[in-house]
Amino acid sequence: MKSLAELQALRDKMQAQMGIRREEELSTRIVVGMATCGIAAGARPVLAAFTDEISKRRLTDVAVVQTGCVGICQYEPVVEVYRPGEEKVTYVKMTADKVARVVADHIVNGNVVTEFTIGALK
């Protein structure tokens, strides 16, 4: 390696071989609130369930990521779904049992599971 450009080229080559994509290349981001309030409410199994379901379905254009406090602790575990050209969807009081339906209906087929969203609580 003689330059940073060579190192970046090698990294890009290896990521392509491994099927790793940059977050900005992905079409969907699933963000799980993992602050202490979320963890206490059960966010860890929710995060694991999303990761497992995305992997099981071999969805390569979806990233499952963690964030800190979302600011609505009374509705934890909170999951936000970002898709290009669409409004953010906030799922509340999520459980691992609800994940498969969210992935099938919303992530795969584009239909928001409205009864799990923050809007359903109002």
Per this entry, what is the length of the chain? 122
In a domain? residue 110: yes
Q: Which two tokens stand for residue 111?
A: 């239909």
Given pLDDT bands bounded at 50, 70 and 90, which one contains residue 85? confident
Examine residue 100 and state whether it is found in any structural domain, yes or no.
yes
* Model confidence pLDDT, tens digit, residues 7-50: 888 877 776 665 545 555 558 999 999 999 999 999 999 999 99
Residue 77 forms part of a structural domain? yes
How far apart CA 50 and CA 62 sit, in angstroms, is 10
- The answer to whether the CB of 75 falls within 8 A of the CB of 121 is yes
Number of domains in the chain: 1
Tell me the C-alpha distance between 26 and 61, whole Å.
Answer: 5
pLDDT digits (tens, 9 = 90+) for 54-71: 999 998 889 999 999 999
7: in domain: no
Smallest CA-to-CA distance from 93 within 72, 107, 109 is with: 72
Query: Please, are residues 66 and 30 in contact by the beta-carbon 8 Å criterion?
Result: no
In a domain, 6, yes or no: no
The parent domain of residue 99 ranges over 27-121
- Domain contains 57: yes
Continuous segment of H or E residues that includes residue 5: helix 4-18
Q: What is the pTM of this model?
A: 0.78
CATH of the domain at 62: 3.40.30.10
